[in-house]
Structure 1
């Protein structure tokens, strides 16, 4: 994840305290219901021979899956604790993980100097960032894409905020896996639906496709149903790109 110094401290605490193992974090759903659904949307335009950067990779579950479909996969996260967790959980070394804050333009520039034009995957990151940081992240991603890369952004819709509020305020209180999110001071769902498309267009990217899919979590509500957050995806590339 990527954030201000205050939020970065929150993320470090979150990942230090998170239980080890697959599915222990609320958004750490199996790739079969996450990245595997996004991959066909990205693959229709993206050159799989280019590297893929998983921006805000967390513990790297989706990065490891995507690594099997691109020439090289690099997960980046501002949190050292998240990167350490991602490396520890990548027993087969299928992906690479770096502590890189996407708000840092110099750091992203250095990544482009190393990797060249890259595809970028962003899942559930921007809604956790301050508005000015969202703009900086998008601005930094543009040169990382270069002229050949494609960007896939998947974020909870504004309606997710109300669903989360209802879960938090329910008689039983927040579900167990949701409690650490709030206890560490994180604020999910704080982003209007129009913001991502506006940011992408405002930074010179062309939106090739968009749509809605649920963000499937690893937690269940009081009714026993899996919690799924209404979410939106956008696929964008440079104006000069093909496809």
Structure 2
């Protein structure tokens, strides 16, 4: 099985197993605690007239919110089941959902030729890829943003691994996270220092970076909501 097929098989299996009901998907936080906070960070750095591409959009919760702030938004996924679910649950007149394999830069090139330069929103996607595959995904992103677009990414940080270890030791695995593991999906981490190698300074300009978190839908017995340590970065191609 090829790498791309491995990701497709696992994610298609996962997305075929969920309905999109509230609380079912581990990372499916209310946009007030996710895309809204992200937008506050990147809005001043992007051209609002360009389309926005939400890579790894899942069921489209964040995509639909972003559609209220950009004229055209495209949610992309590798799994047909995710595209179908997003279209059913988070449709809007200015939003479309489509298949896109970020490990096939030619797919990204086709989309770029169709819509031109775009801004890219990337919420907790790169860490799901093996380190070997991450540079290929960056090639796709580079093609999508072109000369005028910008990339906003938020990813699990180096602090996420010990955070999860302590969480599971103390409370056991959250059901939503355990469900992900059942589909042979084993998320990794993306160290903050990896940015420099994935987005080298001779090809990308780092506009801003800092600490963040990925809010989940899982509440602990204490009443606290699980927030996974993360970091964000805003980049564009060097001119």
TM-score of the aligned structures, taking structure 2 as reference length:
0.93
- In 1, Cα distance between the equivalents of 2:156 and 2:168? 17
User: What secondary structure is seen at the aligned counterpart in 2 of 1:4?
Assistant: helix
| 2:200 matched residue in structure 1 | 201
Moved more, 148-157 or 181-190: 181-190
Q: In the alignment, is the contact (CA less than 8 A) between 1:28 and 1:217 conserved in 2? A: yes
| 1:116 matched residue in structure 2 | 116
Residues 17-166 of structure 1 correspond to what in structure 2 (within 5 A)?
17-166=17-166
User: What secondary structure is seen at the aligned counterpart in 2 of 1:201?
Assistant: coil
Residue deviations 1:117-154, cap 9 Å, x none? 00000000000101122100111211211110000010
Deviation at 1:203, TM superposition (A): 7.0
Residue deviations 1:59-88, cap 9 Å, x none? 111111111111210011111111111111
Matched, 1:218 2:217: yes
From the superposition, tell whether residues 89 and 237 of structure 1 become closer, same or farther in structure 2 (CA, over 3 Å): same
Deviation at 1:51, TM superposition (A): 0.2
| 1:176 matched residue in structure 2 | 175
User: What secondary structure is seen at the aligned counterpart in 2 of 1:209?
Assistant: strand
How many corresponding residue pairs? 237
> Which sections of structure 1, spanning at least 5 residues, go unmatched?
none
Deviation at 1:190, TM superposition (A): 2.8
- In 1, Cα distance between the equivalents of 2:11 and 2:202? 27
From the superposition, tell whether residues 213 and 190 of structure 1 become closer, same or farther in structure 2 (CA, over 3 Å): closer
Q: In the alignment, is the contact (CA less than 8 A) between 1:120 and 1:149 conserved in 2? A: yes
- In 2, Cα distance between the equivalents of 1:105 and 1:155? 21
User: What secondary structure is seen at the aligned counterpart in 2 of 1:131?
Assistant: coil
- In 2, Cα distance between the equivalents of 1:217 and 1:203? 35
> Which sections of structure 2, spanning at least 5 residues, go unmatched?
none
| 2:232 matched residue in structure 1 | 233
- In 2, Cα distance between the equivalents of 1:179 and 1:224? 20
- In 1, Cα distance between the equivalents of 2:64 and 2:84? 14
Residue deviations 1:165-214, cap 9 Å, x none? 233334x5212222101121212233322113431126711001001111
